[in-house]
Amino acid sequence: MLEEGVRFEGVTKRFGSSTALSNVSFSIKRGAFFTILGPSGCGKTTLLRILAGFERPDSGKIFVEGKDVTSVSSNKRSINTVFQNYSLFPHLDIWENIAFGLRISRKPEREIKREVEKMLELIQMTDHAHKMPEHISGGQKQRVAIARALINRPKVLLLDEPLAALDLKLRQKMLIDLDLIHDEVGITFIFITHDQTEAMAVSDQIAVINRGKIEQIGTPVEVYEAPYNTFVAEFIGDTNFFDGHVIESFGSDYSTLAFYDFPNVVCYNDKKISVGDKAHLSVRPEKIHISLEQPLAAPKRNIMQGIVEDVIYKGDHTYFRVIVGGHKVAVIQQHSRIHLDDKPIGWKENVWISWNADDGFILAKAS
């Protein structure tokens, strides 16, 4: 098992009457690629600034590889930060930008040359070593900023929305580059973002934060496939919500839910909500199958009829909105194979939708 890399213990931070962080406690394994994910103003950047030593918590402690660094100055924590605006020195070429940290540490020239060349190779910038920052692209600047932050071999690298200034295709490429760099250097990466797609692509674990509190920590699969509450389900991806109550339980983990204006639904009930209690159900759109023909009945399969209200073709999938009772149900049909002569599902058509009980989750209400 990997050692503990970073630990937050009861961290609280207020700015005037506003609470940015409220009794936050969690651990990050050493060497992990860990993402703190949440909307603007949720407290994620405050958490990063406290870890970096730029802010002091009102209460609580921060540990880095077992050492309490709560009162340690930022320059002595062995933590470096990469910001979205790169912060490269415009008067220094790429080689000297990367070498800057080693020069400040008064390392021997031979060591500086060796380490800078290794970093240039790692970020695939050897051929650009003597260009000025103004003459390289945004993605290249970001790679240089990462190399400069890594040159002194910190214990933790913080990445504060590092891809926000890049266009979509460049962000996608940089995500791959970040993952490869992390695998190569093996130190703890803590990635701050509001973009769930970025978080899902590179993370070993994700902490979803909202209003200064951690809502859920888990692998990308766990937070997407089994969200703990309504906030996590809605923030990470798209989902359908249904409010009802439990009318029957069977087996050890399944229940039947009844709704005011929707057919009864069988679902997975890991929250162990009792008969008669209110229940909040989530079903992801891509878990729902849509067809013109009625599907065969099967145990623990929900089948119902509706009318298509919207059809949006998006290339790799088609998005449908289907009216069932008093609800508009989002459905995503993935295009693994398309036959152009097949009759497509169109607007105002009668359709059947269905999903397995294991693909619906009863959720806790967000705090």
The CATH number of residue 93's host domain is 3.40.50.300
Q: What is the mean pLDDT of each run of 10 residues along the chain (367 residues)?
A: 85 96 97 95 94 96 96 93 85 95 92 94 92 91 91 93 80 87 93 91 95 96 92 92 92 89 92 88 96 92 97 92 96 77 84 96 71
Q: Are 293 and 205 found together in one domain?
A: no
The tally of domains found in the chain comes to 2
Distance, CA of 364 to CA of 32 (rounded, Å): 28
Q: Are 214 and 182 found together in one domain?
A: yes
> Domain span at residue 195?
4-234
Candidates 76, 13, 54; CA nearest to 211 is: 13
Q: Is the entire prediction scored with pTM above 0.85?
A: yes
Q: Are 296 and 186 found together in one domain?
A: no
Residue 259 burial (C-beta neighbours within 10 Å; 0-12, 13-18, 19+): middle
Residue 49, SS3?
Answer: helix
Q: Are 286 and 336 found together in one domain?
A: yes
Q: Are 99 and 166 found together in one domain?
A: yes
Q: Are 225 and 303 found together in one domain?
A: no
Which residue among 234, 249, 273 closes a domain?
Answer: 234
Residue 258, SS3?
Answer: strand
The residues pairing with 262 across neighbouring beta strands, listed in sequence order, are none
Q: Are 227 and 313 found together in one domain?
A: no
Q: Are strands 317-324 and 301-313 parallel, antiparallel or unpaired?
A: antiparallel
Residue 182, SS3?
Answer: helix
- Long-range CB contact pairs, 59-63, < 8 A, 24+: 59/10, 59/11, 59/12, 60/8, 60/9, 60/10, 60/11, 60/12, 60/23, 60/24, 60/25, 61/8, 61/9, 61/10, 61/11, 62/6, 62/7, 62/8, 62/9, 62/11, 63/4, 63/6, 63/7, 63/9
pLDDT at 1: 40
Which residue among 234, 253, 268 closes a domain?
Answer: 234
Q: Are 226 and 252 found together in one domain?
A: no
Residue 32, SS3?
Answer: coil
Token pair for 310: 């919207």
Q: What is the dihedral of CA 291, 297, 298, 304, to 10 degrees?
A: 60
Q: Are 113 and 152 found together in one domain?
A: yes
Residue type, 53: G
Distance, CA of 227 to CA of 217 (rounded, Å): 10
**CB within 8 Å of 340: residues ≥ 6 apart:** none
Which residue among 180, 209, 234 closes a domain?
Answer: 234
Q: Are 205 and 295 found together in one domain?
A: no
Distance, CA of 164 to CA of 138 (rounded, Å): 11
Nearest-Å Rg of the Cα atoms of the chain is 25
Candidates 212, 221, 153, 164; CA nearest to 191 is: 164
Q: Are 246 and 229 found together in one domain?
A: no
